[in-house]
Amino acid sequence: MQLSLYQVDAFTEKVFGGNPAAVVPLLETPLPDAKLQQIAEENNLSETAFLTPTLSPEVFDLRWFTPAAEVDLCGHATLAAAFVVFSHLRPNITEVHFNTRSGTLSVSQATAGMMMDFPATRPQPIATDRLINEGLRAEPAELLLGFDHIAVFDSAAQVRALSPDYNALKQLSSRGVVATAADGDGFVSRCFFPKLNVNEDPVTGSAHCQLAPFWSQRLQRQRVVGTQLSARGGQVICELDGDRVKLFGQAVEYLRGTITI
C-alpha cells in the first residue's frame, strides 16, 4: 500500500521556520490505530495528522499522533492539514471543517494566511508545585492549570533562559508545561512535552487556546500576538471570541512524498 505524505511548516512564512507536521490523507483503505502510531513514530515529528474524507467535500475526520501517543488537540498540525486540503485535496473551497476528539474545528482562508476556530480554555490558578520548579529549574511567579501546566514568569528573558530537566517534567500529571511571560502588547512562550517524546515543541497552537484567554484578560486586549521562543520560532495571532479562540497563521510546504507500507 502507498500513501501520500506532505510535510508542512506551520505558523511561519518560510521553510525551516515554525513547527513541522506531517499530513497523511487516508483516501481509500482505513488503517488500524497501531499502524497510524507506527507511521507517526517513523516520521519522528512532533505531530502526524491523518485526514479521512467524509461525504461532504468540506468535512474531514482528523486525528493527531505524536511519536508516542494520540492527542486530543493540536494546532499546528491542524493548520498543516488545512493547508494540504486547500492546496491539494480541495483547491476550490475556502473553509474546511474537521471532526476531531475536541469537537468540530474550522479553518478558513484569510487575507494573511489561515484562521483556525478553536475552543478557549481558561486555566485556573493553583498552588506552587515543587515538581514544576525542579523541572524548569526556575520558580515561576504564578502557576496555572489548564490541560497543561502554565508557568507565568515576570519577563521574556526568564522564559528564554529556561533549561529544563525533561526527566522531571515527564512526571507531571498534565500533558506538559507551558512557560510564558508578557512582552509589550503581547506575550512569549515555550512549550515542553517530554511525556509525549517532544521535549520542546517549536510552535504550539493548542497551547494558545489557554494562553490567549489568560493574556487577553491580563493585558486587556481582545487580540494579542504570541511569540514562541523555540529555536525555530514562530508567531500566533490570537483573537478571543467568547468561548472560542481564533488563531491566525501561515504555512509552507517543505516536502511531498510517498509512504510504502
What's the N-to-C CA distance of the chain in angstroms? 5
How many Cβ atoms from other residues are within 10 Å of residue 215's Cβ?
26
The pLDDT of residue 169 is 96
Can you tell me which residue has the cell 528573558?
157
- What percent of the chain clears pLDDT 70, i.e. is strictly above it? 100
Q: Please indicate, yes or no, whether residues 48 and 143 belong to a single structural domain of this protein.
A: no
* Long-range Cβ contact pairs of 32-41 (< 8 A, separation 24 or more): 33/70, 35/261, 36/63, 36/65, 36/70, 37/65, 37/69, 37/70, 39/65, 39/259, 39/261, 40/65, 40/66, 40/67, 41/67, 41/68
- Confidence label for 170 from pLDDT (cuts 50, 70 and 90): very high
Question: H-helix or E-strand containing 188?
Answer: strand 186-193
pLDDT on residue 28: 86
pLDDT in tens, 99-146: 999 899 999 998 878 999 988 999 999 999 999 999 999 999 999 999
Can you name the residues that pair with 200 across neighbouring β-strands?
none
pLDDT at 194 over 90: yes
Domain match, 147 and 169 both: yes
Q: Which of 250, 260, 258 is nearest to 87 (CA)?
A: 250
| Residue 168 host element (H or E) | helix 166-169
State the pTM of this model.
0.84
Rg of the chain (C-alpha set)? 18
Q: Report pLDDT for 113.
A: 87
Give yes or no for residue 98 having a pLDDT over 80. Answer: yes
In percent, the amount of the chain with pLDDT more than 90 equals 88
Do 147 and 231 fall within a single domain? yes
Across 185-214, average pLDDT:
93
Q: Which pLDDT score is estimated for 246?
A: 94
Do residues 181 and 135 both lie within one domain?
yes
217: pLDDT strictly greater than 90: yes
Query: So what's the pLDDT on residue 29?
Result: 83
**68 and 157 both lie in a single domain:** no
pLDDT at residue 147 above 80? yes
The set of long-range contacts for 139-146, using a CB threshold of 8 Å and a minimum separation of 24, is 140/179, 144/210, 144/214, 145/174, 146/121, 146/122, 146/209, 146/210
Q: How many alpha carbons fall within 13 Å on the CB side of residue 58?
A: 12
- Shared domain for 145 and 207, answered yes or no, is yes
- Mean pLDDT along residues 78-83: 97
Query: What cell was used for 39?
Result: 507511521
Q: Is 132 helix (H, G, I), strand (E, B) or coil?
A: helix
Strands (E), 27-168: 48-53, 59-65, 70-71, 95-100, 103-110, 113-119, 124-125, 142-145, 149-152
The arithmetic mean of pLDDT across residues 179-189, rounded, is 97
Please tell me the predicted confidence (pLDDT) of residue 109: 94
Determine the pLDDT at residue 111.
80
Provide the β-strand partners of residue 60.
53, 98
Query: Number of folded domains in the chain?
Result: 2
Query: CATH code at 45?
Result: 3.10.310.10
Q: Which of 13, 41, 47, 58 is catalytic?
A: 47
The per-residue pLDDT for range 4-58, each reduced to its tens digit, is 999 999 999 999 999 999 999 999 888 999 999 999 999 999 899 999 999 999 9
Asked whether residue 85 falls in the same domain as residue 143, the answer is: no
In the beta sheet, which residues pair with residue 248?
A: 115, 237
- Do 92 and 138 reside in the same domain of the chain? no
Shared-domain flag, residues 49 and 68 = yes
- One domain for residues 129 and 40: no
Residue 193: band (very low, low, confident or very high) from pLDDT cuts 50, 70, 90: very high
CA triplet 131, 132, 135: central angle to 5 degrees? 80
Residues 148 and 99 in one domain: no
Interatomic CA distance for residues 242 and 83, integer angstroms: 26
Known active-site residue 42: no
Residues 57, 96 within the same domain: yes
Mean per-residue pLDDT over the chain, rounded: 95
Predicted local distance difference test score (pLDDT) of residue 131: 95
Boundaries of domain holding 108: 2-119+248-260
